[in-house]
A = this chain, B = another copy of it.
Amino acid sequence: MTRARIAIDAMGGDYAPDEIVAGALRAREELDVEVLLVGDPEKINRYLQEHAPSTTPEIIPATDVVEMNEVPLVALKRKPNASINVAMELVKAGQADAVVSAGHSGAAMAAALLRLGRLPGIDRPAIGAVLPTLMAGKSVLVLDVGANVDCRPKYLEQFAIMGSIYSKYVLDVPDPKVGLLNIGEEDCKGNDIAVGANQLLRKNKQISFLGNAEGRDVMSGQFDVIVCDGFVGNILLKFAESLGSVLVQILREELPRGWRGRIGTAFLRPNLRKIKQRMDHAEHGGGLLLGVDGICIISHGSSQAPSIFNAIRLAQEAVDHQVSQRIQACYQQAVALEDQN
């Protein structure tokens, strides 16, 4: 296996380029990856001279940036030399295996669709996010968390297939249990899309569909993959991401009460740090855009170096486990099966 080459959108994100470059340099040192820094060479070099004068990562010049307030398609067309465009081109040309961007997520998605295209059989790519569960060491993949605000039942079915493949090969779950996010356990519950998706998922032989998952089931550990439209998924994800602070705030208010509380809390400082870390979204690195012909990790705009490092690790795992190729193979198999019938 050759080393994964990851194109980093060094200009995207609230803390670009400094924090992005810092995360990339750490990944270059600690992971078995090559990083290509895509962005304004002057700005990147200024950071390197100051913080890492002896390192010489590869820099791919791209002077434009898609700003957060721009309309993705318009901006991508008007700025062919935007860092996200250039990064995607590297993947398309086979010079990189994956893209990591903390810039405008709509622009990243649009650039991936335009430059890399969809995988055959996939109508809509989806963003998958990994959340912790009640069961220690077990996580759950939720998709879509923001790529598609309006969905049809068959898109949700495609999300289930892509999610199962990701869960199996990257998250090492032998037989991923799939759930459909809904307002009740019974198959007949929910809005029209949920009811229709339930029927498709029940019939699909390529996945292990357990049934509907309610809000309370998301973090129960019962499900490995949970599918939903990008509107609900995005709200749920952002809600879940705020829990780290909610938790720490509640602990800060409740723990130090009374003399017992004050003494107890004094002993717990390292454990509390650990708890925050476990809930923190920086640990997850970002979402994987599934369904495009290439690997693309979409990180938070607020990402700093640790988050970018984790995003690069995520990209590396997706590349090493050939996620895109496996999704494609799965669809070819499905088509072959249909032809037989």
A contact set with B: CB distance below 8 Å: 134, 136, 146, 149-150, 181-183, 190-192, 194, 214-220, 228, 230-232, 234-243, 245-247, 249-251, 253-255, 257-258, 260-261, 263-268, 270-271, 274-275, 278-279
Please judge, given known A-B contacts A191-B231, A231-B183, A254-B274, whether A218 and B239 are in contact too, CB under 8 Å. Answer: yes
Is B264 in contact with A271, judged by CB distance below 8 angstroms? yes
Distance, CA A112 to CA B188, complexed state (A): 23
Question: Is A250 in contact with B234, judged by CB distance below 8 angstroms?
Answer: no
Task: List the B side residues contacting A270 at CB < 8 Å.
Answer: 258, 260-261
**Most-contacted residue by chain B among A250, A263, A266 (CB, 10 A):** A250
A219 touches B242 (CB 8 A): yes
Do A260 and B249 have beta carbons less than 8 Å apart?
A: no
Q: Report A230 CB to chain B, min CB distance, Å.
A: 7
In the bound complex, residues from chain B placing their C-beta under 8 Å from that of A192 are 150
Task: Identify which of B146, B230, B235, B261 contacts A236 (C-beta below 8 A).
Answer: B235
Copy tally for this chain in the complex stands at 2
By beta carbon, the residue of chain B nearest A135 is B249
Residues of B near A149 (CB, < 8 A) are 183, 190-191, 194
Do A268 and B274 contact each other (CB < 8 Å), given the known contacts A183-B231, A235-B236?
no
Q: Are B255 and A268 in contact (CB under 8 A)?
A: yes
Which of B237, B251, B254, B264 is the one whose CB lies under 8 Å from A267?
Answer: B264
B261 touches A241 (CB 8 A): no
Q: List 22 A-B contacts (CB under 8 A).
A: A134-B245, A146-B183, A149-B183, A149-B194, A183-B231, A183-B234, A191-B231, A214-B235, A215-B236, A215-B239, A218-B242, A239-B240, A247-B250, A255-B271, A257-B271, A258-B270, A258-B271, A260-B268, A260-B271, A261-B267, A261-B268, A263-B267
Q: Report how far A220 CA is from B228 CA in the complex, Å.
A: 24
Cβ-defined contact, B239 with A236, below 8 A: yes
Quote the shortest CB–CB distance from A227 to chain B (angstroms): 13
Complex: how many Å from CA A325 to CA B266? Answer: 52
**Complex interface: chain B residues within 8 A of A274 (CB):** 254, 257
19 extra interface residue pairs, beta carbon distance < 8 Å, beyond A219-B246, A247-B250: A134-B249, A146-B183, A149-B194, A150-B192, A183-B231, A191-B231, A194-B231, A215-B236, A215-B239, A215-B240, A218-B242, A219-B242, A250-B275, A250-B279, A255-B271, A260-B268, A260-B271, A261-B270, A264-B264
Residues in B with CB closer than 8 Å to A216 are 238-239, 241-242
The docked-state distance in angstroms from the alpha carbon of A150 to that of B274 is 41
